[in-house]
Amino acid sequence: MAGSEYEKNAVGFLKETETTFKAEFFKFGRHLEDDTESRDIYKITLTRGERVYKFNFGQSIANSGFKLINKNTNKEVKYNWFNELTYNKDNDKKKLNKDIGQKLGYMLGLPFGDCLKIEFGEEPSAYDVLSCLQKNEVGTFEDFCGDFGYEEDSRKAERTYKAVLNEWQNIKILWSDEEIEKLQEIQ
């Protein structure tokens, strides 16, 4: 997606509004309340002058985690015990690659660097994040429930509404109405 027209539009928007975008790996875990699978979670920082908006972003499950790849066949190697491993913010990816490589080489009697490698999930791009932001007025809780099919007496709906409202308020602090209209075009 890095060279796509969508990504170019997102990067162009950030440049035009003099907004910096930073994505830092936070942890591998469940991000959304209803998640049944873990995903990479990143701390996102959008900065424009003195205005800063920080939030967690759950990467798509398809672009999360890591895989053990046989360099000779370029296919994923399936080891149940390996698939249970997780990494966190204290393990940078290079260190994890080296640590797992040494353990695998020892356990399997293989020269890890010669035949196995680890492929990590993708870091979210500016487009990935900007396209997911709340870009429209949220309205009342009753409007929100009606628009998105929530029951008004649901605590989950109330938590979701408050999170979306908070995001919208931060978007309005970062950018003007005209800029938000341009942000709406990033989909």
pTM: 0.78
- According to DSSP, residue 133 is labeled S
Range picked from 38-47, 66-75, 95-104 for highest mean pLDDT: 38-47
Q: Encode pLDDT of 156-172 as tens digits.
A: 999 999 999 999 999 99
Least confidently predicted of 19-23, 33-37, 146-150: 33-37
Check residue 89 and give its pLDDT.
43
Integer Cα distance of 49 and 16 in angstroms: 13
Q: What is the mean pLDDT of residues 1-23?
A: 91
Check residue 70 and give its pLDDT.
76
Closest-CA residue to 107 (of 66, 86, 77): 77
Parallel/antiparallel/unpaired status of strands 51-58 and 75-76: unpaired
Q: Each residue of 30-59: b (16+ CB within 10 Å) or e?
A: ebeeeeeebbbbbebebebeeeebeeebbb
Q: Is 35 helix (H, G, I), strand (E, B) or coil?
A: coil
For the chain, the farthest-separated pair of C-alpha atoms sits apart, in whole angstroms, at: 62
Q: What is the mean pLDDT of residues 109-134?
A: 81
Res. 103: pLDDT tops 80: no
Check residue 83 and give its pLDDT.
47
Res. 18: pLDDT tops 60: yes
Q: Could you tell me which residues come within 8 angstroms of residue 60 by beta carbon, excluding any fewer than 6 positions away? A: 39, 128
Q: Per DSSP, what are the bridge partners of residue 70?
A: 75, 116
Check residue 100 and give its pLDDT.
60
pLDDT-derived band at 98 (thresholds 50, 70, 90) equals low
Closest-CA residue to 25 (of 39, 6, 14, 4): 39
Q: For residues 174 and 91, which has the higher predicted lDDT (pLDDT)?
A: 174
Closest-CA residue to 63 (of 120, 8, 126): 120
